[in-house]
Structure 1
Amino acid sequence: MNASYDSAFGDAVRRAATGLRTAAGIDPEIAAAPLAAILRSGRALDLDGLELLARLVTGNLRKVRQPVGETIMAHAVRRAGTAWRHGKRDDPAITGAALAAALRGDPARLGPGERALLADLVTGEWRRGENRPSKGAGNRHVAAVVEAFRNRVSIGTARKVALADTANQFSLTERTVETYLAMTAEQERASDL
């Protein structure tokens, strides 16, 4: 993706993707192709279609009756919705809440980058992980892990115990925590130069 996007919106899209999984026998790339084309184009997004998209990411799309004379975008959202169902562990009503709120907000806020992220969500690109940006030292999750580790060490906890406790707190492996620590230390060294 070439267009820049709001990182909070990107986080909301990533969270929403965790609450959805593909329905058996339906390829989301095919089912969502018309919606992805609308989202990637410069075409204006109608509020009814955005509301349906908000319902899709929260797992409530199938509860809505299809009206006669529906817009092209709303029809494309319904078609894309056939490819998705609730995830195994995550509740889409929770994971998709932030994205749904953004979609129900100002549609002019959705620039080309945000629209491309939505297209990648409905076509299943986020589930494959191809477009997921790698976590770097500036990522807020990485910063939270590093801060938790450093807080434990600062109160006198042994490094090995602090490493294990931090890994358990964030449901990570100790190796991942060590990687985050190394990335952050490297970035701090580079910024000191």
Structure 2
Amino acid sequence: GMSIFNAWSKDQKVPTFGYDANSDAVAAIADGFTGTVSQHPDVQAYLTLRLLRNALDGADINTGIADADDAGNKIDSKDYKYNADERSYYALNLAVTSENYKDNLDATTTYPDASKQLDKDKHPEKKVWLNTYNSGDNFLGSTYVPLLKKYAPLLNLDVEYIAGDGQTESNITNRLGNPDEFDAFAFNMVKTDNGSAYTQLLK
């Protein structure tokens, strides 16, 4: 959407829609970009680390999501869904238009109701190894990872971030030489059927 908007449709006044809500796309709405879709990265990033925190604490899976945690963190039901059959949480898409774009100008703003600091005595700091599959991915690099870096200290997680080359799993797995040093792992595979390339390192 942004490529065609900048190259042609902006000057031609042709309505143009995007499919991601990176900060540049949202800011362009003021210049005539018709709108875009936010993947709710603030919820995506929070859920990634929240589920790790819950597992490390031995807490109920919905703690800090459907049910407020002891700091008051919670996600509104309109902003996510849980699919029990797939055992997966999903952040729900949000239309960003001229009516609400000012509220979404900074894609790295954390979710307001899930931005409270956890007590370190109740939730001791844990070490996490987390990778993203491609260092060149704009969404991951400019939005998702910056959000993770904001949430991690709030959830008392010391995260080591690794970015792959988008081509091979080995570019990522070769950098996990000391799994015993970590309490938890979050793997973002290059190919979704290559889970064993990661799990075999944890034996």
Band the TM-score falls in, shorter-chain normalisation? under 0.3
Which structure is higher in RCO with an 8 Å CA cutoff and minimum separation 6?
Answer: 1
* TM-score after normalising by structure 1: 0.27
Structure with a larger share of its residues in helix: 1
* TM-score after normalising by structure 2: 0.26
Structure with a larger share of its residues in strand: 2
Whichever of the two has the greater Rg, that structure is 1
